[in-house]
Amino acid sequence: MVRLSLLLRDRKEINATLIEEKNRLDFEDFSAAGIYSDTSKKKSSIDKWIFPSRSVTVIFLRSLISLCTATTILAQDSAPNEEIAMLKIPSHDSCSENGTRNSRKNHIAILEQQMQEVFTDTSLGDFGAKAASARPQIQSNRLFVKTDGFLWKAFIGGSDYAATDSTTNTAILSGNTKRADFRWRWGFRAELGYRLPHDHWDIAANYTWFHDKSDRTVAAPSGGTIAPLLYTPFILSAFSADASGSIRWHLHYQNFDLELRKDYFLSSHFSVSPFFGMRNTWLNQGYRVRYNNPNASIDNPRTIEILSKQDFWGIGPLVGLNTNWHITNQWWIFGSFISSLLASDYDIYSDQLNDLETENSVKANAKRMSPNVQGALGLGWHMNLNRQRNHIAVRLSYEAQYWWKQNLMIQYTNASPYRVARNGEDLGFHGFNLDMLFDF
């Protein structure tokens, strides 16, 4: 009985220690939940909960050891006593309390991890919600490539080269103008990029190549003649009813863009990708016009040929925005817009020849700021491959580009003395794109 009384006394001390520990944990739970208004107490209590002090830990372990020792001794005692049977209960309660405490710590760790996924500190020292990344959710090497085949057509202002006249009235011109008419041509665009680990940014470089040309001829209508719009002096009476004209215009476009962009969701079905970078463009064009006037008088040329060429190079900043409306988890509608302003250099040359052995040659180089815009609208589809290691996307879109004051080639405006003027006309492309993106 002396042995039992000692055990009961130890049991009371153990229960008191457990009750004190339980009250402390409950106080910390209420503090973490924001029930107590003292912020300093909340912080210290949470810190003690996650990282208990050494003294509390030692008291709890000593109590647990004493309790387990008492339980073992009582289990060996054969006397069926109701009080002895009750001594086994604290062993279960203490183990349960320890399990609850570990469960709380695990729960806090999970909550902290989830908060880190949706919470971010800003570079200004503030904090807020983190936007979900719209990158492909795959395990890749972060490299991606995109190839784009497109069918485009160019249009250029200032390409009128002749006008038909149904009469031979030299005082009044009445007819329709003829201009260079470009064809639909194929081009390509290639892109190589890398998905940076920092803040889900992507860096990409792309190259675009396109070549177009126009070949057109015009003949005088029955009972009429043609007016050579690019020839100076412009003398309608010098051209007879058998006159004809032709033009061949070529255009060669190359573009290199370097972009830094970030894809993220603004809502569950809408994502955006703002970007900025540098644009480097080469755009060369020129034409050859030939007028034939076989029945011209001796004072007028029978053959006239005009050669003009313009080489353009520009470099400058670009900004843009890609928008995506996700219809399903595989299909989406997208729209994009790009604008750039390039510091440009124009190398322009013009040469006018005729069979009377007269020649006019002019160089008219220029430096300008050249603005341009670019937009696209289309439909896309994508999916992950190879057990979420790769990603593929296919898009079909309509694209248009517009370049202000791109055609600065000169025209002769007066014969004596000779004077020239710049066209100052615009240039554009439009057509259909089919591209495919692949993440490694």
325-373 residue pLDDT tens: 999 999 999 999 999 999 999 999 988 887 776 677 888 899 999 999 9
Please report where in the chains the tokens 């412009």 appear, as a residue.
234
User: In this predicted structure, what is the pLDDT of residue 241?
Assistant: 67
> Who has greater pLDDT, 308 or 232?
308
Contact 271, 324 (CB under 8 A): yes
Please determine, for residue 68, whether its predicted confidence score (pLDDT) is greater than 70.
no
DSSP 26-72: HHHHHHHTT-S--HHHHHHHHHHHHS--HHHHHHHHHHHHHHHHHHH
Contact 186, 205 (CB under 8 A): no
Q: How does the average pLDDT of the chain come out, rounded?
A: 78
Mean pLDDT value across residues 88-107:
61
Q: CA 174, CA 178: separation in Å to the nearest integer?
A: 13
User: In this predicted structure, what is the pLDDT of residue 422?
Assistant: 81
> Who has greater pLDDT, 269 or 22?
269
Span 113-126, pLDDT tens digits: 766 666 677 766 77
User: In this predicted structure, what is the pLDDT of residue 1?
Assistant: 44
Token pair recorded at residue 210 = 């396109």
User: In this predicted structure, what is the pLDDT of residue 283?
Assistant: 97
Cα→Cα distances 247→23, 267, 348, Å: 96, 54, 18
Look at the alpha carbons of 125, 127, 133, 139 in this order and tell me if their dihedral is positive or negative: positive
| C-alpha of 21 from chain center | 57
Q: CA 376, CA 330: separation in Å to the nearest integer?
A: 20
Beta-bridge partner residues of 427: 156, 403
Indicate the pLDDT class of residue 293, thresholds 50, 70 and 90.
confident
Q: H-helix or E-strand containing 5?
A: helix 2-32
Please determine, for residue 399, whether its predicted confidence score (pLDDT) is greater than 50.
yes
Q: With pLDDT > 70 as the criterion, what percentage of the chain qualifies?
A: 68
Span 144-192, pLDDT tens digits: 999 999 999 999 998 888 888 776 655 556 678 889 999 999 999 999 9
User: In this predicted structure, what is the pLDDT of residue 226?
Assistant: 81
- Which range is least confidently modeled, 75-84, 201-210, 309-318? 75-84
